[in-house]
Structure 1
Amino acid sequence: MAPLRLVWMWLLVAGTQEPAGVKDGDMRLADGGSANEGRVEIYYSGQWGTVCENMWDLTDASVVCRALGFRNATEALGGAAFGPGHGPIMLDEVRCTGTEPSLANCSSLGWMRSNCRHDEDASVICTNETRGVYTLDLSGELPAALEQIFESQKGCDLFIRVKVREEDELAICAHKLILSTNPEAHGLWKEPGSRVTMEVDAECVPTVKDFIRYLYSRRIDVSLSSVKCLHKLASAYQAEQLQSYCGHLFAILIPQDPSFRTPLELYAYALATRDPVLEEICVQFLAWNFGALTQAEAWLSVPPGLLQDLLSRTELVVPSELVLLRAVDEWSRERSTSHKEVEGLVEKVRFPMMPPRDLFSLQFNLSLYWSHEALLQKKILQALEFHTVPFELLAQYWGLNLTEDAYQPRLYTSPTWSESVMSSSYNPYRSFQTPQHPSFLFQASSVSWSLVYLPTLQSCWNYGFSCSSDDPPLLALSKSSYSSPTIGYENRALLHCEGSFVADVIDFKGWKALIPSALGTNSSRSTSLFPCPAGLFSRFQVVIRPFYLTNSTGMD
């Protein structure tokens, strides 16, 4: 049995090895009629994939051609000109300057972050002339060599003292010439001289050497235990690429705290370190989980500036606008907020999205009503006009622009506007009804919808949908009854993780919404912004969002 076990182990190891000589960022042309043309494919993380045609141009194509030994590109083609590829779509919205050695070095959405399909694969036709230059590239060995120089702690001409509260904790020596070649290191070594002092928190001392080593090799392994300290060091010493990278990793940490303390603390930290990436990640999570936030103890500790930002967002997940207003009422009452701050928040509430019954009840069950009576009466009147006057007249006589935020529904999760299906459900089909529109003018009419979760190509066929092999898993949503031609719909699907938080929000393109990977394990799909530890979404919730099709400001 031992030899057999060794054979299996050898096969397992051999099966996971990268092809000899192939590394991330290498490119090739596939399915062309000659060596100088074909579909662009790029290698990453052990496999080949394609590039989406979005923003694909001759500059991008020339980067591919020159990397493959040709002088330039003559054509940059989209629409899978040489046939659709297979596997993941590696890059989307590629924007090159023309000097990069690979598309991997160009600006893009990032590896495997794309909603494209293979019928949108990019292709090139290169000139037949080759450059006559052949390159031996051993630069991949350089990071390890630079790390060895750092680890040797010999031949140094820069001495770094690491201090915690004025106490020396660590001494490191470095090399000016190597650090001077890396823009990420310029914030560490600002002044001429041979000595640098780093002031750090005690908890971050163990990560300082990792940070300096990164400035040598430009690569680093980041764990969940080290990410915050590395982010602090990168922020303090202007290592912007490392700062941004760590900022994105916080998306893994934030959902792990159901009390919402972690995202609120990280939001304050992002403001203090002026990190817009981390700030947006925190605000996005809180917006998608706003309904749960208002029920948490941490709700009353939400700072006014953050609450203003949240209430400004259309993609705010909450049962209804009335629930939102009551939460703001509680927040302002418990915090003893100033009159001006409360008015600023009330201005962000979308009163037209409340039905007349709820608007009438505000004077009886809203504590801030009488202290802000004039403003609330103005908002209620605005909402009642929306509910009772046809939008053509509102546009004609008031010049009302119904595309303004106040007239756009948020992501309302009450049964009035949403329906859910479980990913593990035996019956993934749901039929439901919603009002045609939030306006009371449409109270007597409803719209029928059909929702189905399609995890496989076979399930598409079973339910009569025409899907390509790249589509599943997906959600299918269809409208099965008449609705007014003046009304359109921008529907969304909320992807719930283990029933505890919303991990992502996706839109419908036509009748379908492609579901991203919950944990990045499906290499052919983009990954949800906030990954699910279980590796799958537990529930899909569709939210119906009607809007008037006509921009009233342009009407006669």
Structure 2
Amino acid sequence: MQHEGGGGPGGGDGGSTDSISHSLLMVQRLEALLLQGNGSDVTLRVETPNMEEVKVFQVHSLVLVLQSPVFQDLLSRNGSSLLLTETLDCTALFDRFIRYLYCGEVSLRLDQATALHQLATKYQVLGLQQGLSQYMSKNLARDSAGHVADWYEYAVQVGDVALRDSCLRFLAWNLSAVLQGGQWTRVSSRLVLTLLRRSDLVLQSETELFTALEVWILHNQPDGLTAENALRSVRYAMMPPRDLFRLQTQSPVLARYQESVRDLLYLSFQFHSAPPPQMAKFFDVNCSLFVPRNYLSAAWGAPWHLANPARDDRSTSFQTQLGPSGHDAARRVTWNALFSPRWLPLSMRPMFSETGAMQPPRSEGGRPRLIVTPATSSADLAGVTFHKTVLVMAQQGGRLVVTQVYTFHQSSEEDGDFLSDADLNRRTSQYLVDGALHLHIVVKPLYQTLISSKN
């Protein structure tokens, strides 16, 4: 029995009532009603367009009408017999869809999610539709990344914005794994162009991205406009000159489309050869061509694995190149990073009263905080601003994947929700792998555009 509160005559404690719940038994009886067809008043025939599969259900109009406004409309126009035409995948799973209408639950495999989502969307069963979107968003890391690209295309097709954004974020933050997987060559041109426009891509280097794009173009042979738009989205200025020279002489794709990107290559070589302050007088060095993505190579940052991260403060140091220009490639900046698992904002720290007595803090505990500051003299950094990006890995689907990305200038406090849901004290936290927190700090240098002086 479950205590609910309230009152009733003869109550021994003078003011409480109890409830008796047989909801599980009710679900079992509804399932039996579906399986046996007792008292059914609707015949539901589901078939594929070419009749390769047909299923017939004896169902109850009350259940259909309660769960789906589409069924309510169909029954009002067609009476007690409904003929539905569905794809082969949807027809094969229609019995599970109907069972959900009766029992409120469904069992499925990863490869069945899209077809069930299609049925839930078509018949406006909103609870199932939302539940499947959440299931898909939570299972992006399972198996290969191929299903994520498929789910992205499907989400765009049906207008599921939340699922679309979840898929796109996962692909962008784990792009190196996607590029190395066997599914990359069958990714659609729409998704390729969408990814290439993003600055938050996580990958080894821009050269890795170009190499994968070249493989995709050679395999898919897209129309000229698509290929040109894709190639013009590559940030050639983020490649070292040696890679640019190699691509110009060895890339079959650049040999075919070099006229389309000649201006970008020319700007990139200028970017690497001229002093950045001089370049900044004549060009907008904050346009996408000159903006780094989240590169994992050592020149741009460092991984940081913190064992038992909830225990105490930790610090580390690493070096990056001063800027992406070849003119600055040999110059290094040393960075100091401090991680605190229980940093207290000012509003949460103990306060002292006028008599000197300590007042209790406004709330307990604290929250994780990361500070990244240069050990190099500020005079050596003139003309460059630095964005710090912290990639947070978590265990999902048996794999370590990037699940959170935070960007700030100096402290994660600027982001507000840094690791707010990590619960580092809980050993079973998805953010802890063998008791360690896996971070990767990326430093993205941006040159400051100066006032034009084209006299």
Q: Tell whether the structures are fold-level matches, with TM greater than 0.5.
A: yes
Q: Please show how residues 54-453 of structure 1 align to structure 2 within 5 Å.
A: 159=42, 161-165=44-48, 166=51, 167-175=54-62, 179=66, 185-191=68-74, 192-193=76-77, 194-195=79-80, 196-199=82-85, 201-213=90-102, 220-221=104-105, 225=109, 227-240=113-126, 242-257=128-143, 259-389=144-274, 397=282, 400-424=283-307, 429-453=315-339
Deviation at 1:174, TM superposition (A): 2.3
Deviations 1:142-163 (A, max 9, x none): x999979977789989736152
**Aligned residues of 1:423 and 1:453 also touching (Cα < 8 A):** no
Q: How many Å separate the matches in 2 of 1:333 and 1:227?
A: 32
Q: How many Å separate the matches in 2 of 1:449 and 1:419?
A: 10
**Aligned residues of 1:422 and 1:538 also touching (Cα < 8 A):** yes
Q: How many Å separate the matches in 1 of 2:432 and 2:132?
A: 19
2:442 aligned residue: 543
Structure-2 change in CA distance of 1:424 and 1:534 (3 Å): closer
**Aligned residues of 1:489 and 1:547 also touching (Cα < 8 A):** yes
1:50 aligned residue: none
Structure-2 change in CA distance of 1:283 and 1:433 (3 Å): same
Q: TM-score, normalization: structure 1?
A: 0.60
What amino acid sits opposite 1:314 in the alignment? S
Structure 1 position 480 matched with structure 2 position 379: no
Q: How many Å separate the matches in 2 of 1:321 and 1:310?
A: 13
Deviation at 1:491, TM superposition (A): 1.6
Structure-2 change in CA distance of 1:553 and 1:308 (3 Å): farther
Task: Between the two structures, name the one with larger relative contact order (CA 8 Å, sep ≥ 6).
Answer: 2
Structure-2 change in CA distance of 1:280 and 1:456 (3 Å): same
Secondary structure of the equivalent of 2:199? coil
Structure-2 change in CA distance of 1:156 and 1:551 (3 Å): farther
Q: How many Å separate the matches in 2 of 1:145 and 1:521?
A: 39
Deviations 1:494-517 (A, max 9, x none): 122356422222234742362254
Structure-2 change in CA distance of 1:554 and 1:377 (3 Å): closer
**Aligned residues of 1:319 and 1:412 also touching (Cα < 8 A):** yes
Q: How many Å separate the matches in 2 of 1:407 and 1:555?
A: 20
Deviation at 1:209, TM superposition (A): 3.0
What amino acid sits opposite 2:317 in the alignment? S
Q: Please, which runs of 5 or more residues in structure 2 have no aligned partner?
A: 7-20, 345-362
Q: How many Å separate the matches in 1 of 2:403 and 2:157?
A: 26
Structure 1 position 490 matched with structure 2 position 390: no
Deviation at 1:178, TM superposition (A): 6.1
Secondary structure of the equivalent of 1:247? helix
Q: How many Å separate the matches in 2 of 1:554 and 1:534?
A: 54
Q: How many Å separate the matches in 1 of 2:63 and 2:96?
A: 21
Q: How many Å separate the matches in 1 of 2:454 and 2:308?
A: 47
Structure-2 change in CA distance of 1:256 and 1:266 (3 Å): same
Q: Once superposed, what is the RMSD of the aligned Cα atoms? A: 4.2
Count residues in correspondence: 393
Deviation at 1:394, TM superposition (A): 5.1
Structure-2 change in CA distance of 1:518 and 1:264 (3 Å): farther
Q: How many Å separate the matches in 2 of 1:149 and 1:520?
A: 44
User: Identity over aligned residues, as a percent?
Assistant: 23
Deviations 1:123-182 (A, max 9, x none): xxxxxxxxxxxxxxxxxx9x9999799777899897361524352332211228963xxx
- Once structures 1 and 2 are overlaid, which stretch shifts more, 479-488 or 306-315? 479-488
What amino acid sits opposite 1:540 in the alignment? L
- What stretches of structure 1 move > 6 A for 4+ residues in a row? 143-158, 519-522, 531-537, 551-556
Secondary structure of the equivalent of 2:60? strand
Secondary structure of the equivalent of 2:168? helix
